[in-house]
Chains A and B, each alone.
Chain A
Amino acid sequence: MKLKRKKPVNLERKHEALTAYLMVFPSILIILAMALWPVISSFWNSLFDLRLNHPAKNKITLEYRINLERFVDTQYYINSIFRQIRASEELNSDPAKVDEIYNGLVELRENLKIQPGIIDKYIKVEEILNNMKPVTDEDIRYAVVSKDFAEHYLAKVESARNGFQALSKANDDAADQGAELMEELRTSLLEPNYIGFDNYARYAGELGVQENGEIGRLGKSLINTIIITVVSVFFELVLGIIIALIINRPYVGRGLTRAAVLVPWAVPTVVSARMWAFLYDGQTGIFAHWLVKLGIIKDGGVLLSTKAGAFFSVIFADVWKTTPYMALLLLAGLQGISDDLYEAASIDGANRIKQFFHITLPLLKPTIVVSLLFRTLDAFRIFDLIFVLTGGGPGNSTESISMYAYTTMFSQMEFGRGATLSIVVFLCVALISFIYIKFLGADVMGGRLEQRR
């Protein structure tokens, strides 16, 4: 820190800061709205039993709601049940009891109607149902009720059910059907789908060994993701350093090399996944064909149809696409190291290996840490390549954690659970970044921010 001469507060300074805030503001707004808000929202959704294909659970709600369509519809059946009961001598042996149940249900209906905000919707729903039409407007079909009323409702329905059961003399007589109708009434009331950390508890259970002796699906997908990340990033780094060291010199064809190196990086992952799917194919794939000829695999089919083969395929395709890019970054880092250092070292008698460990590696460390961090995070989020190349298969054997989250959300429409898994991915990514910055290069990352100031 340098001591600065104290300056008088100056208008121009203030003006400058104001301009800066004005220039920064729109981006901040976009980032807050489109990146931070969704993460918070994902977390919030993960606390609910949210299923997009389930009519009662397709919205997050902290309130009790009543399905008026179902409720009103049930009223017609209730009336017809009571007509049947009263017509039957056997069931109507104690008319006072029957009246008691009937009055209880009428009271419940009238109580519902006087709840705030119900009556208008109730009348509309009745009207629509009288015209034999379904209620299509969600706003009319569902109405919020208080917790007190919900408890009253459930108690009333339960006592009516008990009353019906006491009346019932035989299976499937009118009173028995009445008891069944009470189940309809009970499920007309929707409980809040807030479930706290239940989703997290569920997935914590999937981390370890299950009853069938296998590791749970989350545990497996985490292991798969870690294996793919560690192995591919390791090879990309080592090969990247070797390639960068070799091509760090003037030679004919530099431009060509650079362009060639950029091509795999520039091609969409999905396209390279499809290309490799063809090259690995057991029937038509030349890569599989060569491996068979070399005697490395028995037949071409094993690359994509066995677990080991599929892992190899995914990692190899990833290394092919990313190593050149890694080499490019490291090459730029190498070019920043002055030749004088090597000359001085060789005058002092240090051999190549010593030079590498004492000059190259320490000076290259910032570049290595930064490229490693970016690559690790990228590899950990792996989705496109696996999704298109193996589809997570065979079985679920190459499923990554992002893929697990994705299929939970968009194949099973379990958005609450999927959000939980996506938060797990988010936390893992945050943890990886933290570990890198903490142990490998706080100075490096700090420096990156510092330089921009």
Chain B
Amino acid sequence: MKKNPGFGFYTFLVVFLLFILFPFYYIFLTSIRTPLEIFSTFNLYTLSPTIQNYIRAFTVRPFGRYLYNSFVVSGVTTFISIVFASFTAYAVARLKFKGKSLLLAVVLGVSMFPQIAIISPIYIFLRDMGLRNTHIGLVIPYITFSLPLAIWYLSTFFKEIPFSLEEAAKIDGASPFQAFYKVIAPLAAPGVFTTAILVFIGAWNEYLFAFTLNTDDRMRTVTVGITMFNAQYSIPWGDIAAAAVIVTVPLIVMVLLFQKRIVSGLTSGAVKG
């Protein structure tokens, strides 16, 4: 089954990677082209790169503000979810209590809720509370999907921490809570970090709530902002491509830096159970 990979294998690999990465390359290429070139050629290179599209992305639309909004909303969402989820996940992974299966079933079930089924009451609630077009107004619905996700991932990671260490701490007289923050928390840090990345990406990528709740241009997030680049007669593809690159690059950097962690997080959530 596992021979040394040969020519055929690498051909396949290259085709596969091209399939995945070509759209990104072409979008990047478009982002450094002049509008005239975008509409006149299908070449896979450009001889006259320009940064005009990037300048326009930030000036035609308040793209910097969109980035800031996304960053604040995703950051706060991640922080809150991680705090609450780590307590819950610790209890699930380590402590004995009745109703644990029910809790996990509810968490799993809620993580699969279609967002469309909860959007109308949340919309009415946030409107009545005057929380539309605020950061916290987006954080609230984001918690609904990020908290179950975080509980699910974290309880997997917490299970993998050797139980004996905690027992030792308890024998030395630590309460369960002390055992949590003195022994388990430092060991759990990598898992917490991975979960934070996954939750952050999930919140960063959210569109439906952001589009519906924050209609004030100053309060839009990047995902909504990128759909706002429209002109009357022709679509400004250069600006859109530049915006897409700006949104994608931080994600690519994150993926390159933390790929091992992200993969272990994703697969432990789905494969190991």
A interface residue numbers (CB < 8 A to B):
13, 15-17, 19-21, 23-24, 26-28, 30-31, 34-39, 41-42, 45, 243, 246-251, 253, 255-264, 266-272, 274-276, 278-279, 281, 283-284, 286, 289, 320, 324-325, 328-329, 332-333, 336, 339, 342, 352, 355, 366-367, 370-371, 374, 377, 380-381, 383-384, 387-388, 402, 405-406, 409-410, 415, 418-419, 422-423, 425-426, 429, 433, 447-453
Contact = CB atoms under 8 A, between A and B. Distances in A.
* Chain A CB within 10 Å, residue with most, of B9, B222, B255: B255
B270 A320 contact: no
Given A24-B103, A284-B38, A274 B227 contact: yes
Contact of B114 (A246, A284, A381, A410): A381
Given A41-B121, A269-B207, A452-B156, A274 B24 contact: no
Interface of B: 1-3, 5, 9-10, 12-13, 16-17, 19-21, 23-24, 26-27, 30, 38-39, 42, 84-85, 87-88, 90-93, 95-98, 100-101, 103-110, 112-124, 140-141, 143-144, 147-148, 151, 155-156, 159, 175-177, 201, 204-205, 207-208, 212, 222-224, 226-227, 235, 237, 240-241, 244, 247-248, 251-252, 254-256, 259-260, 262-263, 266-267, 270-273
Given A35-B110, A271-B223, A283-B39, A447 B118 contact: no
A411 B120 CA distance: 13
Contacts of A374: 112, 270
A289 B38 CA distance: 13
B8 to A, nearest CB: 9
B84 A269 contact: no
Contacts of A381: 114-116
A394 B272 CA distance: 42
B185 to A, nearest CB: 13
Given A274-B244, A453-B100, A38 B256 contact: no
Nearest to A374: B270
B244 A24 contact: no
Given A259-B255, A279-B26, A39 B84 contact: no
A42 B121 contact: yes
Nearest to A45: B120
Nearest to A423: B117
Nearest to B87: A23
Contacts of B256: 259
Nearest to A258: B259
Nearest to A375: B270
Contacts of B107: 31
Contact of A328 (B147, B159, B266): B266
A128 B270 CA distance: 63
Contacts of B39: 283-284
Nearest to B257: A259
Nearest to A21: B97
Given A253-B13, A405-B116, 9 more contacts: A17-B95, A39-B113, A42-B120, A263-B252, A271-B226, A325-B266, A388-B227, A419-B120, A422-B119
B1 A352 contact: yes
A98 B96 CA distance: 82
B238 to A, nearest CB: 10
A17 B212 contact: no
Nearest to B118: A38
Given A20-B91, A284-B39, A26 B118 contact: no
* Chain B CB within 10 Å, residue with most, of A263, A279, A380, A450: A263
Contacts of B235: 281
Contacts of A23: 87-88, 90-91, 95
A153 to B, nearest CB: 30
10 contacts: A28-B103, A262-B259, A262-B262, A263-B255, A270-B205, A275-B27, A286-B26, A339-B1, A406-B116, A452-B100
A362 B124 CA distance: 48
Contacts of B42: 286, 289
Contacts of A17: 95-98
A324 B223 CA distance: 22
Rank and list the top 6 A-B pairs by shortest CB-CB distance, nearest first.
A332-B267, A38-B118, A41-B121, A268-B205, A20-B97, A20-B95
A38 B271 contact: no
B182 to A, nearest CB: 15
B240 A24 contact: no
Given A320-B20, A339-B2, A388-B227, A278 B121 contact: no
Contact of A332 (B27, B84, B159, B271): B271
Nearest to B252: A263
B248 A383 contact: no
Contact of A266 (B30, B147, B255): B255
Contacts of A429: 112-114, 117
B147 A324 contact: no
B71 to A, nearest CB: 14
Nearest to B176: A19
B239 to A, nearest CB: 11
A27 B116 contact: no
Contacts of B26: 279, 286
